[in-house]
A and B are shown apart, each in its own frame.
Chain A
Amino acid sequence: MRPVIKASLHYLALAVVSVLWLIPVYAMVINGFKSDLEVSSTPVLVPPTQFSIGAYVSVFGSLAKPLLNSLIIVIPTSFIAAFLGAMGAYFFYTLSYSYSRFSSTLSDVLFSLIALATFIPYQATLIPLTRLIVDMGLLDTYAGIIFAMLIFYIPTGALLMSMFISVLPRSLVEAAKIDGTGDLKIFLKIVFPLSMPGFISTLIFIIIQSWNNFFIPLVLVTTPEMKLISVAVEAYTGGYGTLYNDTFAAAMLASIIPLAIFIFLGRYFIRGLIALGGGGKGV
Chain B
Amino acid sequence: MKKGTVILVVPTALFSIILLYLVLWNAGVSFMNWSLLNPTPSLVGLETFVSVVRQFQFSNSLVHSLELSVSLVAIGNILGILLASLLYFLKSNGARSIFMSIMIYPLAISMAVNGLIWLWLYNINIGIDWVLTKIGLPQFPWLSSTSTMFPSLIVVSVWAYTGIAALFYLAGFMNIDKAVVEAARLDGAGAFKITYKLLVPNSFNSFVISTALLFLFSFRIFSLPFILSGGTTNIFLQTSVLYMYYLFTVEFFSDATAVATIITVIATIVIIPYALIMIRRWIRR
State if A and B touch, Cβ cutoff 8 Å: yes
Chain A contact residues, CB within 8 Å of chain B: 10, 13-14, 17-18, 20-25, 27-28, 31, 42-45, 84-85, 87-94, 96, 104, 107-108, 110-117, 119-129, 131-132, 150-152, 154-155, 158, 162-163, 166, 182-185, 187, 208, 211-215, 230-231, 233-234, 236-237, 240, 244, 247-248, 250-251, 254-255, 258-259, 261-262, 266-267, 269-270, 273-274, 276-279, 282-283
Chain B residue nearest to A204 (CB atoms) is: B108
Which listed residue (A13, A93, A251, A283) contacts B113, Cβ 8 A? Answer: A251
**Chain B 263-285: CB-based contact to A (< 8 A → 1; otherwise 0):** 11001101110111111011111
B174 at the interface (CB under 8 A from A): yes
B60 at the interface (CB under 8 A from A): no
**Contact, CB under 8 Å: B117 / A262:** no
**Contact, CB under 8 Å: A208 / B283:** no
- Can you list 11 contacts pairing A with B, beta carbon distance less than 8 Å? A17-B99, A28-B117, A121-B220, A121-B264, A126-B245, A128-B22, A151-B19, A155-B15, A185-B4, A230-B113, A279-B282
**Contact, CB under 8 Å: A278 / B282:** yes
**Contact, CB under 8 Å: A88 / B260:** no
Which listed residue (B12, B126, B241) contacts A43, Cβ 8 A? Answer: B126
**Contact, CB under 8 Å: A151 / B22:** yes
Given contacts A88-B13, A154-B15, A214-B110, contact A278 B277 (CB under 8 A): yes
Given contacts A114-B12, A123-B241, A278-B282, contact A267 B97 (CB under 8 A): yes
Chain B residue nearest to A258 (CB atoms) is: B108
Chain B residue nearest to A209 (CB atoms) is: B107
**Chain B 148-173: CB-based contact to A (< 8 A → 1; otherwise 0):** 00000000000100001001101100
A173 and B225 alpha carbons, distance in the complex (Å): 48
Given contacts A24-B117, A127-B26, A128-B25, contact A283 B260 (CB under 8 A): no
Classify the interface of chain A: helix, strand, loop or mixed.
helix
**Contact, CB under 8 Å: A27 / B167:** no
A17 and B277 alpha carbons, distance in the complex (Å): 33
**Contact, CB under 8 Å: A14 / B220:** no
**Contact, CB under 8 Å: A88 / B279:** no
> A43-B127, A212-B111, A215-B223 are known contacts; what are 8 more A-B pairs with Cβ within 8 Å?
A10-B89, A43-B130, A119-B220, A126-B245, A127-B26, A127-B256, A131-B25, A283-B97
Which listed residue (B19, B105, B219) contacts A116, Cβ 8 A? Answer: B19
**Contact, CB under 8 Å: A116 / B118:** no
**Chain B 207-239: CB-based contact to A (< 8 A → 1; otherwise 0):** 001100100100110110011001000000000
A129 and B277 alpha carbons, distance in the complex (Å): 29
B104 at the interface (CB under 8 A from A): yes
